[in-house]
Structure 1
Amino acid sequence: MRRILALVGLPLLVVAAGCAPASTDPSGGGVGDPASHLEAFRQRAAEVADAWRPGPDWTSGYVPLQDPTVLLGDPGFTPDTEQAFRAGWYREQHRMSAAEPADGTIRFPDGTLTVPLVSALDAYQQLDQGDPPPCPGRPMDPPPGSRPKPGSTGGPIVEPGPDGSLVSPNPDPDAPVSGTPASACVPLTVTAVRLGTAPVRTSRGEAQVPAWLFTVEGLTAKVARIAVAPGAVTAVPQAPASAEPAPDGVVGAQDLSAVAGTRLAWRIGMGACDTGGTPLVEERDDVVVVGGAVTRATGICTDQLLLRPVTATLKAPLGARPVLDVVTGAPLVVRPL
Structure 2
Amino acid sequence: MRVRTSPSAGLLAALAMTTAGLGAVSGCGNGEASEDGDAEARAQRARRVAAAWDGSEAATAWRAGFHPMGDVIRLPRGGLRSTADAQAFRDHRFVLEGKLPAASPKEGRVVWAKGGSLNRPLVGAEEAYKTLSRGRAGGQPHLTVTGAELGETSVATSRGPAVVPAWLFHLKGYDSPLKQAAVLPSELPRPPIRRADGVPGYPLDRLVEVSGDGRSVTVVALHGFCDDGPVVDVLETRGSVVLSAFVKSPEYTGNCTKQAKMQQVTVEPDRPVGDRVLLDAHTGRPVPYKPPHGPSPSWR
Both structures adopt the same fold (TM-score exceeding 0.5):
yes
Match in the other structure for 2:68: 64
Distance 1:325 1:35 in 2: 21
Match of 1:255 among 202, 206, 209: 206
Partner of 2:278: 323
Aligned alpha-carbon RMSD (Å): 3.4
In structure 1, how many angstroms separate the alpha carbons of the residues matched to 2:271 and 2:175? 33
Q: Quote how far apart the aligned CAs of 1:73 are.
A: 6.4
Whole-angstrom distance in 2 between the partners of 1:192 and 1:265: 36
Question: How far apart are the structure 1 equivalents of 2:222 and 2:155?
Answer: 25
Q: What amino acid maps onto 2:245 in structure 1?
A: G
Is it true that 1:270 corresponds to 2:223 in the alignment?
yes
| Alpha-carbon spacing, 1:278–1:56, altered in 2? closer, same or farther (3 Å) | closer
Letter in 2 for 1:315: D
CA contact (8 A) 1:191 1:215 kept: yes
Give the aligned partner of residue 51 of structure 2: 50
CA distance in 2, matches of 1:91, 1:285: 49
In structure 2, what residue type is equivalent to 1:331?
Answer: P
2:251 aligned with 1:288, yes or no? no
What amino acid does structure 1 have at the position aligned with 2:161?
E
Asked if 1:117 corresponds to 2:122, the answer is: yes
Matched letter for residue 227 of structure 1:
A
Q: 1:235 aligns with which of 187, 212, 215?
A: 187
Alignment of 1:202-221 (within 5 A): 202-217=157-172
Letter in 2 for 1:125: K
Match of residue 307, structure 1, among 259, 262, 278: 262
Structure 1 residues 58 and 292: CA distance shift in structure 2, 3 A: closer
Structure 1 residues 56 and 276, CA, compared in 2 at 3 Å: closer, same or farther?
closer
Structure 1 residue 308 displacement after superposition? 0.9
2:20 aligns to what?
none
What is the Cα deviation at residue 272 of structure 1? 4.1
Gap change, CA 1:283 and 1:55, over 3 Å in 2: closer
Identity of counterpart residues, as a percentage?
Answer: 33
Using the size of structure 2 for normalisation, the TM-score is 0.71
Q: Any idea what SS the aligned residue of 2:51 has?
A: helix
Q: Which structure has the greater CA radius of gyration?
A: 1
User: What is the correspondence of 1:120-269 to structure 2 with a 5 Å cutoff?
Assistant: 120-131=125-136, 185-217=140-172, 222-228=177-183, 230=184, 233-239=185-191, 240-242=193-195, 244-247=197-200, 250-260=201-211, 261=213, 262-269=215-222
CA contact (8 A) 1:58 1:204 kept: no
SS in 2 for 1:275: coil
Bigger share in helix: 2
AA aligned to 2:189 is P
Say if 1:252 and 1:328, in contact at 8 Å, map to a contact too.
yes
Task: Provide the C-alpha distance between the structure 1 equivalents of 2:204 and 2:141, rounded to a whole number of angstroms.
Answer: 33
Paired residues of 1:74 and 1:220 also in contact (CA < 8 A): no
Q: CA deviation at 1:47?
A: 1.7
3-state SS in 2 of match to 1:291: strand
SS of aligned partner of 1:131: coil
Give the number of equivalent residue pairs. Answer: 257
Runs (5+) with no aligned partner, structure 2? 1-9, 14-31, 293-300
Q: 1:68 to 1:42 in 2, by over 3 A?
A: same
Determine the C-alpha separation between the residues in 2 that align with 1:66 and 1:187. Answer: 25
Structure 1, gaps ≥5 residues long: 1-10, 15-30, 134-140, 142-184
Q: Flag the 1:77–1:323 CA change in 2: closer, same or farther, 3 A.
A: farther
1:96 shift after superposition:
0.9
Aligned-partner Cα distance in 1 for 2:47–2:67: 24
Change (3 A) 1:121 1:272: same
Distance 2:177 2:240 in 1: 32
Counterpart CA distance in 2 for 1:285 and 1:200 is 25
Instruction: In structure 2, give the amino acid aligned to 1:253.
Output: L
Specify the SS of the correspondent of 1:42.
helix
1:96 aligns with 2:48: no
